[in-house]
Chains A and B, each alone.
Chain A
Amino acid sequence: MDVTESDLPGVGKRHTVPLGDGRELVIVTHNTGTREVFVKEHPDADSEKLLELSDRLARTVGTILEGAYFQPVESEHVETMLTEGTLLEWYAVDEGSPLAGTTLRDAAVGERTGVTVVAVQRDGDVIAGPGPETTIEAGDTLVVVGDRESCEAFEATLLGSAG
């Protein structure tokens, strides 16, 4: 994803986010804090204004979008780029997962896939830095760190589709 940033002297900054379907999201951040959000039907189209947010409102909306209040991980996994090439991902553990019921030591995902499990979310609690004796249970959400390849390998292992 290639987000471009441009300076708008006397106004603020503009960020352009390609939406993947040919459209682009344009966010103009004014020096006053106001955010204006536009959408472009295609990169050459004129921007159409969607909404204008005050600084406070923009931060609230941003936090919701980031998933701080609610993360719909059951349907999709969430990924965050830590640095170029390193991902922080959330994975839901289903009933039928081969990892459900095993300890982290037995699961040995580090050796098998290259990722590190940095936290386990369970019933609203977070087990940060889980030890090797921590058991993975169905319904858990695992927070893992690794490069894209490792994360894909981990996802396959989690789903039981690895060879």
Chain B
Amino acid sequence: MADLLEVGVLFAAVAAVGAVAARLDKSVIPFYILTGIALGPSVAGDLSVEGVTVPSVTASEFVNLGAELGIVFLLFFLGLEFNLDRLLASRSRIGTAGTVDLLINFGVGLVLGFALFGEALAALLVAGIVYISSSAIITKSLIDLGWIANPEADPMLGTLVYEDLFIAVYLAVAAALVAGGDSLGDAALSVGVALGFIAVLVVAVHVGTPAFERALRTGSNELLVLRAVGVTVLVAGVALAVGVSEAVAAFFVGMGFGSTSQVERLEGLLEPVRDVFAAVFFVWIGVETDPALLPGVAGLVLVAVLVTTPTKLVSGYLGGRTYGLSPRRSARVGLGMVSRGEFSLIIATAALAGAGAGLSTEVAETLYAFTVGYVLVMSVVGTLLMQYSGPFEAFATARFGPG
């Protein structure tokens, strides 16, 4: 099929299901993934109606690159909205809530991953996948439900900031380990390179603000967007070329731009760019998913859902209490943190990239299918828990008192 037609099918389908998701007040993420599965080679690609090929989407060069750009822009935005001063200003509360969140969820994730896959690297990846909550889903739900005006928004957004910083470092290490060779020395070397690269970027962000400021100084929206995209994608590309995570590089470029006076303009102008490529990324996730593998991982997904929903409820509740919130509002924090989404998928993508290197192909593919199933469930469960929070709030008040 003609490439342009394929891309047209992709975007038209995304637009259609996006409208459905908005009508249903649900996150778009599971809808995009299911669209990808439905349009992918295993479903639509196999269909023909009376001899006419049904339009389908393959993991073509454009879709692959678009998905890659989706990852880059998702992480770029994370960096753009990440404010180190803000983190330092409320470091004791964010630090406590974030550390509780990390210890409980990453810790349980490590044990769970080892129990499910029986090897250390897979366990490390599972830990990351179940640890990182979805900024996209949670922020959208907070706004939709009006919780954004309530105090429970503070520990939720604060914890997300902590998770974001952790995941930037984690991704660099995980990508290095997954790609790394067999020997411990090789692994240590690639982790060292990854951490060294982060250190260079942190210094560049720290001393580079005036340069960033100058680079972005223009009255023209067009030039601003082009310069921001140019710098971000170039740095991400260089990172990938030298074997470091492009997502992490994009995060730090975002952080650098975030400290300039143009940050609000950039957010407004680049949000649609991010959303377009993020949609390609989620569809690509679906296209890459072999639906035949999903039933095989259903058991793993079920176990992970049953274990890691309560862990977020507990860590979120404790985080809310750290912020001095009532049991009722703390229960909401727990419910809100349950959603997992884009970042879990990015980690799974890193796992897939390591198939045959740090991970065996079989483990990598199982891990990938597991993550897709897990995110499909958790993105829906998380949104539903927030929408029907009443019984949980009543329980928390009855169990722990009103104050």
Q: A96 near B: Cβ within 8 Å?
A: no
Q: Which residue of A lies closest to B158 (CB)?
A: A9
From A44-52, A69-77, A85-93, A108-116, the one touching the partner chain is A44-52
- Of A28, A31, A44, which one neighbours B264 at CB under 8 angstroms? A31
- Determine if B82 is an interface residue (Cβ-Cβ < 8 Å): yes
**Contact assessment for A47 and B150 in the assembled complex, using a CB-CB cutoff below 8 Å:** yes
The yes or no answer to B25 lying at the interface (CB within 8 A) is no
Taking the complex as formed, is A14 at the interface, i.e. its CB lies under 8 A from any CB of chain B?
Answer: yes
CB nearest neighbor in B for A32: B268
Within B248-290, the residues touching A (CB, 8 Å) are 264, 267-268, 271
Q: Are A11 and B139 in contact (CB under 8 A)?
A: yes
Given A10-B139, A11-B139: A38 and B267 interface contact (C-beta under 8 Å): no
User: A8: CB under 8 A from chain B?
Assistant: yes
CA distance A38 to B149 in the complex (A): 7
> Chain B residues near A28 (CB, 8 Å)?
148-149
If the complex has contacts A31-B264, A31-B267, A31-B268, are A10 and B146 also in contact, measured as CB distance less than 8 A? no
Q: Assess whether B347 is interfacial by the CB under 8 Å rule.
A: no
B344 an interface residue at 8 Å Cβ cutoff?
no
For the complex, give the distance between the alpha carbons of A8 and B151 in Å.
Answer: 11
Q: Which residue of A lies closest to B142 (CB)?
A: A11
Alpha-carbon separation in the docked complex, A38 to B143 (Å): 12
Contacts of B150 in A (CB 8 A): 46-47
Whole-angstrom distance from the CB of A149 to the nearest CB of chain B?
Answer: 35
Compute how far the CA of A26 lies from the CA of B147 in the bound complex, rounded to whole angstroms: 11
- Whether, in the assembled complex, A7 has its beta carbon less than 8 Å from a beta carbon of chain B, the answer is yes
List B contacts of A40 (CB < 8 A).
149
B81-A10 in contact (CB<8A): yes
Flag if A49 contacts B268 (CB, 8 Å).
Answer: no
Is B224 an interface residue, CB under 8 A from the partner? no
- Interface size in chain B (residues, C-beta < 8 A): 24
Contacts of A9 in B (CB 8 A): 81-83, 86, 157-158, 160-161
Contacts of A6 in B (CB 8 A): 154
Is residue A155 within 8 Å, beta carbon to beta carbon, of the partner chain?
no
Is A147 located at the chain interface by the 8 A CB criterion? no
- The answer to whether B146 touches A48, judged by C-beta atoms less than 8 angstroms apart, is yes
The reply on A94 being an interface residue by CB < 8 A is no
Cross-chain contact A47 with B149 (CB below 8 angstroms): yes
Residues of B within 8 A of A10 (CB): 81, 135, 139, 157, 160
A38 to B148, CA, bound (A): 10
Pairwise interchain contact A7-B149, C-beta atoms closer than 8 A = no
Produce 1/0 per residue, B323-334, CB < 8 A to A. 000100000000
Interface string of A18-60 (1 = CB under 8 A from B): 0000000010100111001010100010111100000000000
Q: Which residues of the other chain, B, contact A46 by a CB distance below 8 angstroms?
A: 146, 150
**CA gap between A7 and B94 in the complex, in Å:** 13
Residues of chain B contacted by A31 (CB below 8 angstroms)? 264, 267-268
B153 part of interface (Cβ distance < 8 Å): yes
CB-nearest residue of chain A to B150: A47
What is the CA–CA distance of A21 and B281 in the complex, to the nearest angstrom? 50
| Shortest beta-carbon distance from B153 to chain A in Å | 6
Contact string against A for B residues 314-327, beta-carbon threshold 8 Å, 1 for contact and 0 otherwise: 00000000000010
**Chain B window 134-168, contacts with chain A (Cβ cutoff 8 Å), 1 for yes, 0 for no:** 01000100110011111001100110110000000
Known interface pairs A9-B86, A9-B161. Does A14 touch B148 (Cβ–Cβ under 8 Å)?
yes
Bound: A9/B162 CA distance, A: 11
Contact partner of A44 among B147, B148, B158, B326, CB < 8 A? B326
Report the minimal beta-carbon distance from A23 to chain B, rounded to whole angstroms: 13
Give 15 pairs: A residue, B residue, CB < 8 Å, sorted on A.
A7-B86, A8-B157, A9-B82, A9-B157, A10-B160, A11-B142, A14-B153, A26-B149, A28-B149, A31-B264, A31-B268, A40-B149, A47-B146, A47-B147, A47-B150
Where the two chains meet, the residues of B that have a C-beta atom closer than 8 Å to any C-beta of A are 81-83, 86, 135, 139, 142-143, 146-150, 153-154, 157-158, 160-161, 264, 267-268, 271, 326
Apart from the given pairs A11-B139, A32-B271, 14 other A-B contacts in the complex at a CB distance below 8 Å:
A7-B83, A8-B148, A8-B153, A9-B157, A10-B139, A14-B148, A26-B149, A28-B149, A31-B264, A31-B268, A38-B146, A47-B147, A47-B149, A48-B146
